[in-house]
Amino acid sequence: MEQQPYYKRVILKLSGEALSGQLGYGIDSEVITSIANQVKDVVDLKVEVAVVVGGGNIWRGIAGSAKGIDRATADYMGMLATVMNSLALQDALETIGVPTRVQSSITMQQVAEPYIRRRAIRHLEKGRVVIFAAGTGNPYFSTDTTAALRAAEIEAEVILMAKNKVDGVYSADPFKDPNAVKYESLTYLDVISNNLGVMDSTASSLCMDNNIPLVVFSITEKGNIKRVVLGEKIGTTVRGSV
Ligand code: UDP
């Protein structure tokens, strides 16, 4: 019997770090191929998948501004880094036969479509994976906020936040504190008031205000994206109310 997905339209948030694997920097081709295959498994279930890709594996605005670069300029550099990652993911997906479109919030006609909401929805309806590049197009924001914003705009049912170091949200840093416990479910208020570091406060507020659930899980275990999409309880779920 064909497996019935729990969601019809999802946003997958991939941090830049998730693409760098053990390298810790740049793009690991084996890792990106493995992620592409996991995305394909979900597309094969007829789930509409949009992806927001980060850029931290190449450049982070805050780190750049700490080195003396003007913050807004450093942030634009970070947004350009997300475009590089998006093109790499597009290539990995198309190599295995998944149709894709990259839509960039900073127009660059030669490499990507501009972000056009209605067009993005149309692509999804046609079974194409839409990769949202260049964040929100604004400095001082993050790609987590981009995921929240695009999820609201395209009416995605959930944000799937794939992590490569942790498998959910913990009460403390599990690498430093042996007593850290993993939460099964949380509210956005818990996340914001306890400073749990799941996503920045702008992104958390946007999700809370628009009632967008979030599942935080590990992408290093193959098949996890599909498990979440099929409704299996893994990782940590964050909602407006429990
Ligand atoms: N960025 C930005 N506006 C956005 C999204 C991203 O200025 O709407 C910049 C910001 O400098 C950020 C960098 O792009 O540090 C990379 O994005 P992010 O840190 O969210 O990537 P991730 O941590 O997911 O790899």
With respect to residue 58, please indicate whether it lies within any of the assigned structural domains. Answer: yes
Concatenate the DSSP letters of all residues of 58-124 into one string.
T--HHHHHHTTS-HHHHHHHHHHHHHHHHHHHHHHHHHTT--EEEEESS--TTTSEEP-HHHHHHHH
With respect to residue 2, please indicate whether it lies within any of the assigned structural domains. Answer: no
> For the chain, how many structural domains are there in total?
1
Question: Domain range holding 90?
Answer: 9-239
With respect to residue 60, please indicate whether it lies within any of the assigned structural domains. Answer: yes
> How far does residue 240's CA lie from ligand 1's centre (Å)?
24
Per residue in 162-187, pLDDT (tens digit) is: 998 899 999 999 999 999 999 999 99
Per residue in 79-124, pLDDT (tens digit) is: 999 999 999 999 999 999 999 999 999 999 999 999 999 999 999 9
Q: Provide the CATH number for the domain around residue 66.
A: 3.40.1160.10
> How far does residue 9's CA lie from ligand 1's centre (Å)?
23
Q: Write down the pTM of the prediction.
A: 0.96
> How far does residue 162's CA lie from ligand 1's centre (Å)?
16
Is it the case that residue 241 has pLDDT exceeding 80? no
- Choice from 76, 143, 149, 214 to test ligand 1 binding pocket (greatest atom count within 8 A of CB): 143
Q: How far is CA 118 from CA 46, 101, 154, 155, in A?
A: 20, 13, 8, 11
Structure tokens at 52: 């927001």
Nearest atom (ligand 1) to Cα of 74: 11
With respect to residue 4, please indicate whether it lies within any of the assigned structural domains. Answer: no
Rg (CA), the chain: 17
With respect to residue 59, please indicate whether it lies within any of the assigned structural domains. Answer: yes
* 60 assigned to a ligand binding site: yes
pLDDT tier at 242 (50, 70, 90 boundaries)?
Answer: low
**Cβ atoms of residues 141 and 134 within 8 Å:** no
> How far does residue 142's CA lie from ligand 1's centre (Å)?
4
With respect to residue 105, please indicate whether it lies within any of the assigned structural domains. Answer: yes
With respect to residue 1, please indicate whether it lies within any of the assigned structural domains. Answer: no
Residue 120 CA from chain centroid, whole number: 16
Residue type, 110: Q
Q: Tell me which residues have their CB closer than 6 angstroms to ligand 1.
A: 15-17, 54-56, 60-62, 75, 78-79, 81-82, 135-136, 138-139, 141-144, 146
Nearest atom (ligand 1) to Cα of 79: 14
Helix (H) or strand (E) holding 186: strand 185-187
